[in-house]
């Protein structure tokens, strides 16, 4: 195969990255596997599988965890994701507080912290970054980790981030989250990249990963709680819309119904 520019689809570099990701996803989903079984499930040859596992071991992403015995020939080594390869923080913001959880790369939750704070209180509006830090610090302490151990943080909120302005919309009940610089401010205090995403969108991604939508590329998840929302996935891709408001069905004008305000 002729190699093109780095990062060009179809080049050896991109194909290696795709194979690496496929095997990592496989190990997360199915747990420890032998090299032979990985090759069977991915369709990769033995030499390619061996090279791939060597790369992932060198990168600290996988390690061996015993061997599989009871078969003719030498025991086969079992490979699994190295849980210590990376840690993430996941946060949920709501009108009464912030919940933070810290998990390892396999998704195992290691620490949880809840910080109670009324979102509409005047002092809270100016302390959002402080409250997020307090929640993450508590979860890290329980997990026995430091900020330096985090690779990323994801925050689920009602409403949606406008991709043009970076400002939270459709969430008037969270006034402290409306700063245009909030994402950068949070990244600075947490020391890691921060993504802010609509909570229903995150629920749809979870359903796609390990829920009812695993075998579907096109679906809508409807959320009925204190508010009404939805998430739309088309062709396996989450649809956010030009202003981030795709799925905000609570704000759709309906004949005879009052128009929702505050978006």
Shared-domain flag, residues 55 and 125: no
Q: Domain containing 92: what range?
A: 86-201
Q: What is the pLDDT of residues 14-38, one digit of tens each?
A: 888 999 999 999 998 888 999 999 9
Same domain, 78 and 114: no
The answer on 19 and 69 residing in a single domain is yes
Mean per-residue pLDDT for 41-48? Answer: 93
pLDDT surpassing 50 at residue 5: no
pLDDT digits (tens, 9 = 90+) for 202-254: 999 999 988 999 989 999 999 988 778 899 999 999 999 888 888 888 777 77
Boundary (domain end) residue, out of 29, 59, 83: 83
Q: Are 79 and 24 a contacting pair, CB within 8 Å?
A: no
Structural domain includes residue 2: no
Whether residue 126 is predicted with pLDDT greater than 90 in this model: the reply is no
| 217 belongs to a structural domain | no
Alpha carbons within 13 A on the beta-carbon side of 19: 22
pLDDT tens profile 61-78: 999 987 776 555 567 899
Give me the chain's average pLDDT, please.
87
Does residue 262 carry a pLDDT above 60? no
CB 247 within 8 A of CB 201: yes
Same domain for 104 and 78? no
105 and 75 in a single domain? The answer is no
pLDDT of residue 8: 53
Based on the fold, state whether residues 18 and 64 are members of the same structural domain: yes
- Give the closest residue to 52 by CA, choosing from 92, 7, 15: 15
Assigned token pair, 147: 């900020």
Nearest-5° angle of CA 141, CA 159, CA 138? Answer: 5
Query: Is 16 or 122 the better-scoring residue by pLDDT?
Result: 16
- CATH code assigned at 49: 1.10.10.10
More confident residue, 151 or 68: 151
By mean pLDDT, which of 153-157, 198-202, 247-251 is the weakest?
247-251
With beta carbons less than 8 A apart as the criterion, state whether 155 and 91 touch. yes
What is the reported pLDDT for 71?
59
183 in a structural domain: yes
More confident site: 254 or 143:
143
Same domain? For 73 and 109 the reply is no
Residues 69, 131, single domain; the answer is no
Q: Is residue 5 part of a domain?
A: no
Last residue of a domain, one of 37, 67, 83: 83
Last residue of a domain, one of 64, 83, 102: 83
pLDDT of residue 70: 58
User: Has residue 9 got a pLDDT over 70?
Assistant: no
Q: Is the pLDDT of residue 165 over 70?
A: yes
Q: Please write the tens of the pLDDT for every residue from 79-116.
A: 999 999 999 999 999 989 999 999 998 889 999 999 99
Residue 32: partners with Cβ closer than 8 Å, 6 or more residues away: 65, 66, 78, 79, 80
Residue 100 lies in a domain: yes
Is the pTM higher than 0.85? The answer reads no
53 shares its domain with 105: no
Per DSSP bridges, beta strands 160-161 and 168-169 are antiparallel
Number of separate domains in the chain:
2
Same domain, 47 and 107: no
In a domain, 238, yes or no: no
Domain for residue 239, yes or no?
no
Q: Are residues 75 and 104 in the same domain?
A: no
Q: Do 184 and 91 reside in the same domain of the chain?
A: yes
Q: Is residue 243 part of a domain?
A: no
């Amino acid at each position: 195969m002729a190699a093109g520019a780095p990062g060009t689809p179809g080049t050896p570099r991109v194909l290696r990255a795709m194979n690496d990701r496929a095997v990592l996803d496989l190990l997360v989903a199915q747990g420890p596997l032998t090299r032979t079984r990985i090759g069977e499930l991915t369709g990769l040859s033995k030499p390619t599988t061996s090279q791939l596992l060597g790369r992932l071991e060198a990168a600290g992403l996988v390690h061996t965890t015993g061997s599989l015995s009871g078969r003719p020939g030498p025991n086969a080594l079992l490979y699994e994701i190295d849980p210590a390869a990376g840690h993430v923080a996941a946060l949920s913001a709501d009108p009464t507080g912030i919940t933070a959880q810290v998990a390892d790369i396999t998704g195992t939750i290691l620490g949880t912290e809840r910080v109670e704070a009324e979102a509409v209180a005047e002092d809270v509006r100016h302390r959002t970054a402080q409250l997020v830090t307090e929640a993450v610090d508590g979860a890290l302490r329980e997990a026995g980790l430091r900020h330096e151990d985090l690779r990323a943080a994801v925050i689920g909120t009602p409403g949606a981030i406008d991709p043009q302005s970076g400002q939270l919309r459709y969430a008037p009940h969270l006034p402290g989250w409306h700063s245009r610089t909030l994402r950068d401010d949070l990244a600075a205090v947490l020391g890691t990249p921060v993504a802010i995403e609509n909570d229903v969108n995150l629920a749809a991604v979870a359903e796609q990963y390990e829920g009812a939508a695993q075998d579907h590329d096109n679906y809508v998840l409807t959320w009925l709680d204190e508010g009404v929302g939805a998430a739309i996935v088309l062709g396996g891709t989450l649809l956010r819309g030009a202003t981030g408001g795709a799925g905000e069905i609570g704000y759709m004008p309906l004949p005879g119904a009052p128009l929702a305000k505050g978006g």
